[in-house]
Structure 1
Amino acid sequence: MPSILLIEDEPALGMIVKDSLEVRGFAVRYAADGQEGLELFRQQCPDIVVADVMMPRLDGFSLAEIIRRENPGVPIIFLTARSQPADVVRGFELGGSDYLKKPFSMDELIVRIRARLGAAAATPAPAGVLTLGQYQFDHPKQRLHRQGQEEQLTHREAELLKRLYDQRNQVLERTTVLRELWGDDNFFNGRSLDVFITRLRRYLKDDPQVQIVNVRGIGYKLML
Structure 2
Amino acid sequence: MSTILIVEDDEVMLKSLQDAFEHNGFDVLTAMDGESGLQIAEINSPDSIILDVMLPRTDGFNVCRTLRKRGVTIPIIMLTARAEEIDKVVGLEIGADDYVTKPFSTRELLARVKAHLRRTTEKVLSFEHYEFGNVTLDLTTFKAFKNKKQIDLTSTEYSLMKVLIKHRNEVVPREKILNEVWGYDSYPSSRSVDNHVLNLRQKLEDNPDKPEYILTVHGLGYKFVG
Q: Distance in 1 between matches of 2:14 and 2:45?
A: 20
Give distance in 2, aligned partners of 1:84 and 1:68. Answer: 23
CA deviation after TM superposition for structure 1 residue 142, in Å: 9.8
Deviations 1:131-174 (A, max 9, x none): 9xxxx8x9xx698x9xxxxxxxxxxxxxxxxxxxxxxxxxxxxx
Work out which of the residue numbers 127, 146, 149 in structure 1 matches 2:138.
127
Match of 1:107 in 2: 107
Pairing 1:92–2:86 present: no
Q: Report the equivalent of 2:58.
A: 58
User: Structure 1's 142 and 130: CA in aligned 2 closer, same or farther, altered over 3 A?
Assistant: farther
AA in 2 matched with 1:100: V
Residues paired across the two proteins, number: 139
Q: CA deviation at 1:83?
A: 1.2
Read off the aligned partner of 2:80 and give its amino acid letter: T
Please list the CA deviations of residues 59-88 of structure 1 after superposition, one character each: whole Å capped at 9, or x if unmatched.
Answer: 000000011112342110001111111111
Q: Which amino acid aligns with 1:106?
A: T
- 1:169 maps to none
Corresponding position of 1:162: none
Aligned partners of 2:85 and 2:139: how far apart in 1? 38
Instruction: Report the Cα offset of residue 99 of structure 1.
Output: 0.6
State TM-score, norm by structure 1. Answer: 0.56
Q: Which residue in 1 is equivalent to 2:216?
A: none
In the alignment, is the contact (CA less than 8 A) between 1:73 and 1:120 conserved in 2?
no
Paired residue type of 1:19: D
Q: CA deviation at 1:105?
A: 1.2
SS at match of 1:61: helix
Identity over aligned pairs, percent: 36
TM-score norm. by structure 2 comes to: 0.55
| 2:9 equivalent in structure 1 | 9
Specify the code of the residue in structure 2 equivalent to 1:82: R
Query: Using the alignment, how far apart are the partners of 1:120 and 1:87 within structure 2?
Result: 25
Which residue pairs with 1:199 in the alignment? none
Contact 1:7 1:32 (C-alpha < 8 Å) held by counterparts: yes
**Following superposition of structure 1 onto structure 2, how do residues 183-198 of structure 1 map, counting pairs within 5 Å?**
none
Amino acid at match of 2:138: A
The amino acid of 1:28's aligned partner reads V
Q: Is the 8 A contact 1:5 1:29 kept in 2?
A: yes
State the distance in 2 between where 1:35 and 1:119 align: 28
The residue type equivalent to 2:120 in the other structure is A
Alpha-carbon distance, 1:119 to partner: 2.0
Amino acid of the structure 1 residue aligned with 2:93: E
The equivalent of 2:195 in structure 1 is: none
Structure 1: which 5+ residue stretches go unaligned? 146-224
Partner residue, 1:18: 18
CA–CA separation in structure 2 for the residues paired with 1:95 and 1:103: 23
| 1:99 counterpart SS class | strand
